[in-house]
Amino acid sequence: MRQVMVAGNWKMNGSSESVKDLMVGIKAGMSAVLNAEVVVCPPAVYIPRVSGAADGSVIKVGAQNICDQDNGAFTGEISGAMLKDVGCDYAIVGHSERRALYGESDELVARRFAAARRNGIKPILCIGETLDERESGVTNQVCARQIDAVIALEGVTALADGVIAYEPIWAIGTGKTASPEQAQQVHAFIRGKITALDADVGAGLRILYGGSMNPSNAAELIGQTDIDGGLIGGASLKADDFLAICQAAN
């Protein structure tokens, strides 16, 4: 059985005050969240504060990125050991905003995935196609290429240590969600591709959907056979919306 997971990607939003309030709100509603694993990914500077607030609750903390190197002269980067040190269990790698706005290649993302693993952090590997790519019918190829970079570096069994988040770029922050059928098709493709290489890894791998998931569409999306939860951007910034998605995941 794959445990459903709901992860909030707060992106570059918030302040000391607002992250405190958000955590108070989320924690207050957690007793109604029975089955889902709940993760929040704050901006890096707020991770210690959020980890402290999450202490003693079931909420886990993730980073929005992780350096591919372990220490040294890498200005502006944060290592896996540092993230572990401040309480991270997860790290997002290869978010489309990192790929598109900061030029992160499939290979760099794969190295970040590897860095998470060797530091005992579970990577959340984001993949997904642009609108152009979808309209040209290459969605599956794009997702396969992004996954293959990780498999080439780390082997297929490495995927068992992480989570994949399928996030069609045209659905991120646009209010335009993939239909449950569209999402399920790609999720089934991803699982099928991995299962063909390793049946156990394919069966056990959690594949989240991301892209304008909200309280009104979450249950139907997460209800699809191969959708094991969500990576939530905008709706994770409001405690009530985030909790409603967590409850839908039950």
Please identify which of the residues 37, 129, 167, 187 carries the catalytic annotation: 167
C-beta of 202 vs 234, nearer to ligand PGA: 234
Nearer to ligand PGA, 84 or 238 (CB): 238
C-beta of 104: minimal distance to ligand PGA in Å? Answer: 14
> By beta-carbon distance, which residue lies closest to ligand PGA?
233
Q: How far is the CB of 235 from ligand PGA (least distance, A)?
A: 6
The residue among 150 and 218 lying less far from ligand PGA, judged by its C-beta, is 218
Tell me if residue 104 is catalytic: no
Burial bucket for residue 71 (CB in 10 Å: 0-12, 13-18, 19+) = exposed
CB of 203 to ligand PGA, least distance (A): 25
Annotation marks residue 95 as catalytic: yes
CB of 112 to ligand PGA, least distance (A): 16
Nearer to ligand PGA, 201 or 218 (CB): 218
Please tell me the distance from the alpha carbon of residue 232 to that of residue 45, in angstroms, as a whole number.
20
The pair of three-digit structure tokens given for residue 240, joined into one six-digit string: 């009530």
Alpha helices in 68-212 (DSSP H): 80-85, 96-101, 106-118, 131-135, 139-154, 180-197, 199-204
* Residue of 95, 97, 129, 154 marked catalytic: 95
Residues 18, 55: Cα–Cα separation, whole Å: 18
* Smallest separation (angstroms) from ligand PGA to the CB of 8: 9
CB-nearer residue toward ligand PGA: 106 or 167: 167
The pairing of strands 37-41 and 60-63 is: parallel
In the complex, the residues that contact ligand PGA under the rule CB under 6 A are: 9, 167, 172-173, 210-213, 231-235
User: What are the distances in angstroms from CA 156 to CA 18, 29, 160, 194, 209?
Assistant: 40, 37, 8, 7, 21
CA nearest neighbour of 177 among 141, 137, 149, 219: 219
Residues carrying an active site annotation: 95, 167
